[in-house]
Structure 1
Amino acid sequence: MKKDKPFMKNNVFFAYISHPVEFSIFPFILGYERCSQNKDSIGPQKKPCHLLHFIIRGSGYLSLGGIDYTIRNNQLFYIPPECTAIYRPDKSDPWEYMWIEFNGYNCKYFCDKAHLSEQSPIYTPLHPEKFYELFSELLKQNMAGSPQSNSPRSIAALLNLFALLCEDSSGGPPEDISPEQAKLQPVLDFIHANFCTPDISLRAISEQMFFNESYLCRIFKQSVGISPQKYIINLRMQKAREMLMHSTFSISNISLSVGYKSPYYFSQEFKRMFNLTPSQYRRNSYRNADYTQ
């Protein structure tokens, strides 16, 4: 992919796009930025929409769901709605990126198909030049003329982007899928079905799915961005957070429900991720609910 020159003359560009709200998925803010070495962190912040970045060059860091990620050129990172995130450029090699905010009643379906989530926010495409072209097309459509007049093309480009993501992630054309990615999908399905089982471990997964432990850990980190163990912890903590907010189960019952035999160890893991004990988190969520009613 030829990217010798900056994508645009200006360091920052963004455009709002007007769409009817009934679309299943649509872009409504597009942007580009070439960050300087002195660029501050963005966040911590929550947005009511989905956010996807494509790194043209350089590198940076993302903090999401209590996990820190290093992101490099030709990768994408995803931030779901209402999730607190912080991201910043690397000072020695600041990134240049294009980004898109999108929404719609069927966004979760598309993101699930592409395996994009708070627990799995990093995507490394097999053909980054295709993603570069699609992001560029979206931006260029809305740099000239009325954004509203270009909305059908913008939606088509976004759908093409997700078609490419989904093909890459779940059984697309054979030439676009690496053997490692094809092997990993049953592992992800197994983890999502069993992450609340207390005895789930890298060894148990490897034995069940007939993988060598070291090999599984390596391809998992390459594709997902974190280890299988961290991925399981993320799933458990997100499930626990939902139960704390939306149920009256005791901390001990929630601990058992998400796979921890020891409520004390569960509370330690929860505080490590969210900087609050489960009881504190529940009290805060109740206060926030009362405030917004």
Structure 2
Amino acid sequence: MGTVRRLRSVAGPSVVEAIDGFLATLDHPETAGTRRVYASTLRQVREHLGAATPLAVLDTPAAAAGLVAWFTVRWGERAPATFNRNLDTLRSAIGYWREQDWLAGDPSRALRRRGRAPDRTRSLGRAEITALLGREELPLRERTLWRLLYESAARAGEVLALDVEDLDLRNRCAKVRRKGNAVDVIVWQTGTARLLPRLLKGRSGGPVFLTDRRARVPLAPGDVYEPTGQARLSYRRAAETFTAATGGATLHQLRHSALTHAAEDGANTSTLLSFSGHTSVASLARYARVSPEALRRWQQRRDPATRCR
């Protein structure tokens, strides 16, 4: 007697219904950023497959192969981090669809995450940092933001989300929301302490870092300073401004530099974990690697010829 196989029906949700169902699971405030990123990727998946197409067709070899080929063309030439981020998004959605019994298999199984070579030069040198933070010709907003990011080693998103009410100017600290929505405290030094009052100009509320002009589109009340209509400065705009002013550096390099320099100055692991907001030593390891500049200084101190002189 032959083997009896159950034929899977093509009945079930359409592609757009399946995507909407998955995104609906990311309806918590702490997952708003994840939902936004996932929605961008899945919108392109929807356009490729067709919104009204039954999701179950992805269980057919032809449709699965087509999805793999399209994904490879769409993101194959991008950086490994970008490729992997979009693949993780697709697989998160597929995992949910399989849990709902909307799919039997994994149409993305032929795709493989891509490794990336470690970049050991992301830390800016101390001289570069000093020159950058000392550029008086730059707008006050940028000088304050960049110095705060370096002195606190906070993530740019955490600092840009600050409201004036979060600041404790007297004690040079502020409450921020870390990854996972955990509440933490960042602390800054004299440079930031001198700039912040000049930036705020006596304001007692609203976002700390504002756009230059009034908001052009409706925004959440918490992202607008009502007296002027200015909006909270976006990460995208802040990153573009920094990259343009530095000739290619990224905002994240300020954080990376701060942690690397702290490690070079002898900060212990516990201090670095608090400084960075990390919860694991493994996540911290890449920041604690000394810079080429520090390595040269160390070699010079050890050089017998230098000691003789």
TM-score by length of 1: 0.31
Greater strand content: 1
Task: Pick the structure with greater CA Rg.
Answer: 2
**TM-score for the superposition, normalised by structure 2:** 0.29
